[in-house]
Structure 1
Amino acid sequence: MAVSSGQRSKVQLQLVRAFTDQPQGGNPAGVICFAQFPSPAQLQQLALQSAQPVTAMLAPADGGYQIRWFTPQQEINLCGHGTLAAAAVLFARFPEMSQVEFFSQHGDISVRKDAAGYSLCLPLFVLSAVVVDELPVAITQGQTVAAASGRDLILQLASKQQVFDYQPDFSAIRQLPWHALLVTAFDDTATNPCYVLRYFAPSIGIDEDPATGSAHCSLLPYWQAKYPKLPGQWQAQQCSAEGGEFKVRRMGDQLELTSQAVLVSATWLVAASLEIPRAC
């Protein structure tokens, strides 16, 4: 929503916590709705003002909404928690809605609302094996069991505790050619098939992400290839300070991820020379 006054516009920012049912848990995101997108520079300005790890920008489109994701530093190519936050805002605004389609340059995303929570359908990433010994020791830290490459670099560690204890070298991670570093392990203490993870993306301004939906586009196919005889639905736990809980399963060539989101508050941002006649 935006309100114009002379050469300045007030833009409504909705604050959301994604991948949690607690207002202090999960991953924070901002959501801004437009009738049509302003310039990329103006979107980046608003993302910087929002001071959220990611701000999802929405504009109506035939059959759904265009979506773009911005950190305070730059536009990024896919953000699960930003998408879930955007869907939660729209479902609250339009209670009769039970499904919404988002369209982006990096693929289309469907989000469904039901009694179990919000379910996102995301693209699965293609992975290839990486030789652990060819990676910097500052990254593997002598604990890496296996590694794989997709959008992100995946390091498999031997235990859940090692994932908790992993000490990221952010300088070394910034030098990697991948979007982010994923550290993961199979959780053999869980009742159902489960893996744990942490997610580091300092090159896009996120040292450690609290709860990362797009990580499972890599991790679900990775762990299913390791344990092909286990049932199709998995659980995942993100071992950040805030934590994140996920249910994930493969649906053809897509990932279905189910979780929760909490609308926290709304505020207004002031942007100079941003003319937007109505909200989406």
Structure 2
Amino acid sequence: MSIRIAIEQLAAFAEAPFQGNPAAVCCLDAWLPDPLMQAIATENNLSETAFLIGSRGRYKVRWFTPACEVDLCGHATLAAADVVFRREPEQHTLQFESRSGTLRVQREGDRITLDFPVQRAHPCLPPADLQKAIGATPQSCLLGVDLIAVFADEDTIRTLRPNPERVAALPGRGLIATAPGQHVDVVSRFFAPGCGIPEDPVTGSAHCSLTPYWCETLGKTVLNARQLSARGGSLRCRLQGERVLITGRVIPYLSGSIQV
């Protein structure tokens, strides 16, 4: 017996079509079996597919990459919030229960703001294979959820050509390469081949670590950030105690259903 599931695909942290990070969103009446949700995410072959259950502004959310379930995802939460706000136009704030606790989301005109937990990273020695993994030597490294490699300039970030197999062997969920920006405060790229994502177009959760680091380094509380993937994406990040407020725009792309 087959079932039909509504699905939408949207680009998060985008300023125009074909920018930002595409995510799929499936609204469910109840959780599907985990292997089925993973199979759907694998078939979608996007950085993340978000599954939701709930109503009236209160939801539970789970995120799957093509290879695994993850604890926190920014762009797919931004996309999921856009779907809910369009379905429930009377709502201005949403609450998502997740593996990373309660995540609150607020609509602000054509922008959406995520209220996410800080994920601090701490200084560490560069792993022995880091230079071979990314073809460049960073000024410094930090390790938290992800390994962060800090470089001096934007051009270095833009021209990195990492080796996916070597990057997958590094400590952490993935590798964040970052530097001060030329026209924004901070630029970055994010690589997570171990999670089935060779390069993520725009990574909200990475800024849970980047924001406290760069706010302290630059002496700011608000950052304008740009992820330098091929698609590119823009984020506004505010440090507020142990929370990071991440703001971006969502561009809907398609709506339909899947049959499994």
Give the structure-1-normalised TM-score: 0.88
Q: How far does residue 63 in structure 1 lie from its aligned partner after superposition? A: 6.3
Matches within 5 A, 1:81-92: 81-92=75-86
Q: Deviations over 1:29-64 (max 9, x none)?
A: 000011111211121122223232210000117961
User: Could you give the per-residue CA deviations for residues 87-135 of structure 1, whole angstroms, max 9, x where no partner exists?
Assistant: 0000111111111110012222111001261000111112211123745
CA–CA distance in structure 2, aligned partners of residues 43 and 140 of structure 1: 32
8 A Cα contact 2:57 2:91, kept in partner: no
Report the residue type matching 1:253 in the other structure.
E
The one of the two structures with greater contact order (alpha-carbon pairs below 8 A, sep at least 6) is 1
Match status 1:9 vs 2:3: yes
Instruction: Give 3-state SS (helix, strand or coil) of 2:3's partner.
Output: strand
Q: Is the 8 A contact 1:234 1:249 kept in 2?
A: yes
Q: Structure 1 pair 81/142, CA: closer, same or farther in 2 (3 Å)? A: closer
Q: 1:144-181: per-residue Cα shift (whole Å, max 9, x none)? A: 10110110000011100000011111111011121000
1:220 maps to: 211
Q: Given that residues 134 and 161 in structure 2 are in contact (C-alpha distance below 8 angstroms), is that contact kept between their aligned partners in structure 1?
A: no
Aligned to 1:22: 16
Cα shift at 1:256: 0.2
Taking the aligned partners of 1:232 and 1:57, their CA distance within structure 2 comes to: 32
1:275 corresponds in structure 2 to: none
Q: 2:155 aligns to what?
A: 161
1:76 aligns to what?
Answer: 70
Question: Residue 19 of structure 1 contacts residue 211 of structure 1 at CA under 8 Å; is this kept in 2?
Answer: yes
Name the SS of the counterpart of 2:200 in structure 1: coil
Distance change in 2, residues 1:133/1:150 (3 Å) = closer
Partners of 1:140 and 1:155 within 8 A in 2: no
Please say if residues 49 and 269 of structure 1, whose CA atoms lie closer than 8 Å, have aligned partners that are also in contact. no
- Residue segments in structure 1 that go unaligned for 5+ positions in a row: 1-6, 272-280
- Provide the residue aligned with 1:38 in structure 2: 32
* SS at 1:57 equivalent: strand
Q: Tell me if the contact between 1:65 and 1:102 (Cα under 8 Å) persists in the aligned partners.
A: yes
**In the alignment, structure 1 residue 209 sits paired with structure 2 residue 209:** no
Between the aligned partners of 2:74 and 2:130, the Cα distance in structure 1 is 29
Instruction: Tell me by how many angstroms 1:262 deviates.
Output: 1.1
TM score, norm. by length of structure 2 = 0.95
CA separation of 1:63 and 1:245: change in aligned 2, threshold 3 A: closer
Divergent runs of 4+, >4 A: none
Matches within 5 A, 1:200-279: 200-228=191-219, 231-271=220-260
Q: Report the Cα distance in structure 2 between the residues aligned to 1:226 and 1:15, rounded to whole angstroms.
A: 36
Coordinate RMSD, CA, aligned? 1.6
- Greater radius of gyration (CA): 1
Partner AA of 1:245 in structure 2 = S
> What one-letter code is carried by the residue in structure 1 that aligns with 2:95?
E
Say if 2:57 and 2:93, in contact at 8 Å, map to a contact too: no
Distance 2:65 2:136 in 1: 32
Hey, what's the Cα distance between the residues in 2 that align with 1:35 and 1:164? 43
